[in-house]
Amino acid sequence: MSQELRAVEWTGNGLALIDQTLLPHRTQIVDVRDVDTLVDAVRRLVVRGAPAIGAAGAYGVAIAVLQGAREGWSEAEVRAAVARVREARPTAVNLMVCVDRVMTRFAEGLDAVLAEAAAVQREDVEANRAMGAAGADWLLKRVGEDRPLRVLTHCNTGALATAGWGTALGVIRELHARGRLEAVYVDETRPLLQGSRLTAWELVQEGIAHYVQADGAAAGTILRGQVDAVVVGADRIAANGDTANKVGTVGVALACADAGVPFLVAAPTTTVDLSTATGADIHIELRGEEEVLEWAGVRTAPTGSRGHNPAFDVTPGRLVTGLVTERGVLEVSAGELPGDRMR
């Protein structure tokens, strides 16, 4: 099912987005035909995952063009609306890269904009397929086990987070297709539970054996020898290999380093930002306090407590065993850096 799943789909006059805030209990489509609705969808995580946000942003240029035609906007107003889409979430570089790419066709009109956005979406699926195969090859060679592998992942990196197939979850799906996957440990991914709500939902569709675990259990699971490899995605990768991903990732990487377990980051080249030298230069989005102070609208922390809610953390490149893109695998911790190989 998830092979055919599209979190972002152009309908001819707007975007159809699967509302990921409602999964796994309800599947609902958000019809996006104006910039306000798209910006709200990106900020509320109706659509999430760096590649999926990038695809939505690419089509967002068309949304702005169509809305401008309906409402009589000037070119400057259309460009300002596109800038709002581009800035809807600051950490995921794919959004900015994909909007900028489509804007190179802006002067050619709506058909050219839509053709470029469709190319963004198509190329992401192709890239995901390629990195799935490359990542599976690398893991099987690196781990060197004849038995099926036990893999841990954090957050959601599947079809819901991309234009289709998935990044880190694409590697896992490839292992499953080859009969080389025993089970997946799925971190629940606090505070919004993208692991338990979304990744587990995708794995159920595929019939892949898995265990949902608390984020705090991940390090112990790794150190007790219950995990052969970890595969995660990324929202931005600096030139030195430092990787921003969903908050909680760096603790998983530290446990892998201590246990000698491979830590693999799977992301398309659009996630690599060579203009960002190190992770210290990556802007980390701070989300609303209520996400950590409340649960389902009910206050769980004392009145007077403040919330600290970074959406991402940065894993130093020295902890990244391998970075897999559609071009192959870089062994970052061994000195193969994106800034050296991808310019």
- State the catalytic residues: 235
Reduced 3-state DSSP string for the chain: CCCCCCCEEECCCCEEEECCCCCCCCCCEEEECCHHHHHHHHHCCCCCCHHHHHHHHHHHHHHHHHHHHHHCCCHHHHHHHHHHHHCCCCCCHHHHHHHHHHHCCHHHCHHHHHHHHHHHHHHHHHHHHHHHHHHHHHHHHHHCCCCCEEEEEECCCCHHHCCCCCCHHHHHHHHHHCCCEEEEEEECCCCCCHHHHHHHHHHHHHCCCEEEECHHHHHHHHHCCCCCEEEECCCEEECCCCEEEECCHHHHHHHHHHHCCCEEEECCHHHEECCCCCHHHCCCCECCCHHHHEECCEECCCCCCCCCCECEEEECHHHCCEEEECCEEECHHHCCCHHHHCC
* Six-digit token string for 167: 């990044």
Burial of 200 (0-12, 13-18, 19+ CB in 10 A): buried
Find, among 199, 162, 178, 115, the residue nearest to 326 by Cα. Answer: 162
- Strands 312-315 and 15-18: what pairing? unpaired
What is the radius of gyration, based on Cα positions, of the chain? 19
**For residues 256 and 262, is the Cβ–Cβ distance under 8 A?**
yes
User: CA 259, CA 222: separation in Å to the nearest integer?
Assistant: 7
